[in-house]
Amino acid sequence: MPVFAIVGNKGGAGKTTLSVNLASGFNRDTSTALVDADPQGSSLQWRIISGNDDAVPVYQAEADLQQQIDDLQDKFNHVFIDCPPSVHAPQTDAVLKFCNAVLIPVQPSPMDLWATVHIEQAITDSLDVNPTLKSMMVINQMEVRTTMSKLVREALQQIELPVSDTAIRRRAVYRHSILYGKTVFEMGSQGRAAAEELDQLIEEIKSL
């Protein structure tokens, strides 16, 4: 069953928020688990705050991460891994060697673009042992009126990784939902636009 890793190379890219919402989106239709491999433990904290038995289950990463994922694949149709914000972290290095696809949230900022270059190299190196590895960059926290947001797709063409057609906009509802242990899918009309763009992204991920 597919294993999706959410990978970043700097903090603040919205990696955990995207991980929680994507895993929860998949979990509506098919059994899905989220593994928190980020030492900050933000995904685990979100699950504790949630208190909702129907929320996507979140597991703390174990020392033998590959064995843990193998075991979870016997129970779930999809597994997402929230990786540390560094391609040099041992958890990220391990995950790239066995996951099916890597999702890379990229904010429209020069520093995020520079950090993504290192992810590209790490993915290229991982292809030696994981030759079927797929990848996709996701423009995250986009502000449509800014010049950088308008130019980000052109800038990402310099990185030889696919970019999702769907961009995730900067919306307050993403922060508010996480604060209350929810996802945008649970926020009613306040979260409708965010839920729609996530559903579009989910369809793209399914085609990887």
CATH number at residue 139: 3.40.50.300
Of 175, 167, 170, 174, whose CA–CA distance to 136 is shortest? 167
**pLDDT per residue over 42-98, tens digit each?**
999 999 999 888 999 999 999 999 999 999 999 999 999 999 999 899 999 999 999
Using pLDDT thresholds of 50, 70 and 90, give the confidence band for residue 149: low
Residue with tokens 């990220």: 92
Using pLDDT thresholds of 50, 70 and 90, give the confidence band for residue 158: confident
Report the pLDDT value the prediction gives residue 114, as an integer from 0 to 100.
76
Of 188, 183, 159, 171, whose CA–CA distance to 80 is shortest? 183
Mean pLDDT score of the chain: 92
What is the domain extent for residue 152?
A: 3-206
Report the pLDDT value the prediction gives residue 110, as an integer from 0 to 100.
74
What is the number of H-type helices and E-type strands within the chain? 8, 6
Report the pLDDT value the prediction gives residue 14, as an integer from 0 to 100.
85
Burial class (CB in 10 A: 0-12, 13-18, 19+), 158: exposed
Residue 88: its H or E element: none
Q: Is 179 helix (H, G, I), strand (E, B) or coil?
A: helix
Using pLDDT thresholds of 50, 70 and 90, give the confidence band for residue 186: very high
Q: Which amino acid type is present at position 75?
A: K
CB atoms within 10 A of CB 179: 10
Specify whether the CB–CB gap between 77 and 28 falls below 8 A: no
Rounded Cα–Cα distance for residues 107 and 104 (Å): 10
Q: How many domains does the chain have?
A: 1
Specify whether the CB–CB gap between 184 and 191 falls below 8 A: yes
Angle (CA) 44-31-21 rounded to 5° is: 45
Report the pLDDT value the prediction gives residue 142, as an integer from 0 to 100.
87
Q: pLDDT > 70: what percent of the chain? A: 97
What's the predicted TM-score (pTM) here? 0.94
Q: Return the higher-pLDDT residue of 4 and 141.
A: 4
- Beta partners for 139? 106
Q: Is 66 helix (H, G, I), strand (E, B) or coil?
A: helix
Q: Extract the tokens encoding 193.
A: 């636009």
